[in-house]
């Protein structure tokens, strides 16, 4: 994955793109936004239950893409192949979080790693060429062994992610 990130950085070096630090790359299963401190423990308990009910799983990263479109690209990403364990975790979390006033996401769940957030792009053809190069290509396989509940603090240099809990996947 780092090779692909480096390729995009090099190919789009003159563009205004905020590249993601590889050390904080993650897949967001549920984005909660501002969360009242009084329910953080309950949310943590929901995540613990989901982790207890699901085993570790392999995740195949495959292909690159963008959110929005080539006329107005906003995010460059590496996607994943569909995975039934991850989808089950997503569904369980969504259903349990409803009890605390969180709404289900209406958009289709498209798990991905964000490579960069585009501020302004002059050379759309360079982006298109880079995307074509990695479209439908297997990138790598990773074992997913835990769920992490993060607090995200937005800072000028980029978001800071502070783990609230890390829970190993331990279901059978």
Is 112 among the catalytic positions? yes
For helices 2-11 and 124-134, the axis angle rounded to 10 degrees is 160
Could you report how far apart the first and last alpha carbons of the chain are, in Å? 29
Q: 111 with 31: CB under 8 angstroms? A: no
Cα(46)–Cα(97) distance, integer angstroms:
8
Among candidate residues 10, 26, 54, 71, the one labeled active-site is 26
Tokens of 94: 């969504």
Is 26 among the catalytic positions? yes
Return the active site residues: 26, 112
């Amino acid at each position: 994955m780092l090779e692909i990130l480096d390729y995009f950085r090099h190919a789009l070096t003159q563009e205004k793109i905020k590249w993601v630090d590889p050390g904080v790359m993650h897949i967001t299963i549920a984005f909660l936004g501002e969360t009242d401190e009084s329910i953080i423990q309950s949310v943590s308990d929901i995540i613990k239950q989901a982790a207890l009910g699901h085993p570790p799983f392999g995740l195949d990263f495959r292909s690159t893409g963008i959110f929005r479109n080539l006329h107005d690209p906003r995010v460059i990403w590496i996607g994943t192949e569909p995975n039934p364990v991850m989808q089950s975790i997503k569904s369980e979390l969504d259903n349990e979080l409803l009890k605390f006033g969180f709404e289900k996401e209406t958009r289709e769940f498209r798990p991905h790693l964000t490579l960069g957030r585009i501020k302004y792009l002059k050379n759309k053809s360079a982006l298109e060429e880079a995307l074509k190069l990695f479209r439908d290509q297997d990138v790598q396989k990773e074992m997913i062994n835990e769920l992490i509940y993060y607090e995200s603090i937005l800072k000028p240099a980029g978001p800071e992610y502070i783990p609230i809990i890390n829970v190993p996947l331990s279901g059978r």
